[in-house]
Every structure is written in structure tokens, then in C-alpha cells.
Amino acid sequence: MTQWPTRAILALALIAPLAGCSSWFTRKEPPPCPEGAILKDAARKIVYRPGPGRDITDVVFEATLPRINIACKYDDTGVAVDTAVTIVGARGPADTTRRAEVRYFVAVLDPGNAILGKREFQTTLQFPVNVDRGATTEELVQRIPVGKNVSAGNFTIIVGFQLTREELEANRQVRGGSLVAPSGVRPAAPDYTTPEQEQSPRELIKRPNL
């Protein structure tokens, strides 16, 4: 199934320009881009039909975030970061509409792992007749005003699905198969950390397969 990419602008009013890192700009190779990562607990979303049922026959659709790709370009005022977010989905036995509405977020972390900005987006996966799996790639542009002669390599772009508390807890406990798995995408590995635990955001992310 072919989906045209969508494009959005994520404008972030960040902290004051940082000092240092000028050594990147004394070399001939281009300075590094921010790192891209997928939030481990938010890399999978399963939607069930209304009611208490939570087995395979109750699944409306499943979506996963298998990868993101990062590219960037520096200028005198900062760095423009191109982020391509791939979303893969599959219909479940309870689906009646052949479409899946999914919401996801994109956030920027500074070198100290503080969240500098976050935006939510929504996209739709369409499943034509006789097609039960599909994918779309969302193209987003973030602008990070890091300041002249400052590297953005220590910043991180993270993505994940917007989940309910129930969906988040299910992702932390699931060990079963995936409707998407036949396409070569594995569900996110379980993570048993809790919101009360003090843990660096970098320790909760799953590195993308680029």
C-alpha cells in the first residue's frame, strides 16, 4: 500500500545558544546531526473494540514504529533537522472501517536530557480491499537554534505513540506475537520501569534500525 508522505513544521523556542563545540567546525566533514530514537514503551499501539475483551479477536488494529531517519543542515542561526518517521500497521479481526487513526509525538531533548519541545501529530493508515497491512512515512522538520559554531550532535529527537495508561502498561507487559511481525517488524521489547522511578530518558529509548 502506498501512502504519500506528509510534511509538518515543528518550531521550537529553545534555550539560549550554547557555547563550545567549535572544534566540529574546524574539520572538513559536516557537523553531526542530532541522534534519533524511538521511545521504547511507546513504540507499539494496539486498539481493541469497545468492551472488556483483550484477545486477538478483539484487536481493531496494531501499529508500530520500526524506525526513524535523521538528516540535518546547519546555517548561521541553527540547524534544520529532517525527521522521517515510519509507521507500520495491520488490521485486526475486529476492524470494520479499513482505516486506522494513530497519534504520535516528536520531542527534542537537550544534551542534559531535558525536554525542550514536544508536538503531537495524527496520521491515517488506509487498508484497501484484500490488503491488511500498510505503512506510511511522515516527514517532519524541526529547527533547533543551537547558535553559531555549536554542534547539535548531543541533542536527541525522540518519537513515540500517544498512549493511554492502559496501552502503556500493556506495552510494558506484552510478550506475545504481533500482527505486524510477518512484515519483519518486531514489537517493542518490554520495559518494566515505572513513572516514579528516576531514570534518564536516554535509558528508556530503543535505538532505531537505520
Give residue limits of the domains in the chain.
6-173
Residues facing residue 182 across a β-bridge: none
* Predicted TM-score (pTM) of this structure: 0.71
In the Cβ-directed half-sphere of 195, how many Cα atoms lie within 13 Å?
3
Residues facing residue 159 across a β-bridge: 38, 106
Structural contact between residues 172 and 117, judged by C-beta atoms closer than 8 angstroms: no
Candidates 65, 97, 98, 69; CA nearest to 186 is 65
Convert 168-193 to b/e letters by CB count within 10 Å (16 or more is b): eebbbeeeeebbbeeeebebbeebee
Residue-level pLDDT, tens digit, the chain, 210 residues: 434 344 443 434 332 233 334 444 555 677 899 999 999 889 999 999 999 998 999 999 999 999 999 999 998 888 999 999 999 999 999 999 999 999 999 999 998 889 988 999 999 999 999 999 999 999 999 888 887 777 899 899 999 999 999 998 888 886 555 565 433 333 333 232 222 323 333 333 443 433
Candidates 35, 11, 6, 43; CA nearest to 170 is 43
Q: What is the pLDDT of residues 69-94, one digit of tens each?
A: 999 999 888 899 999 999 999 999 99
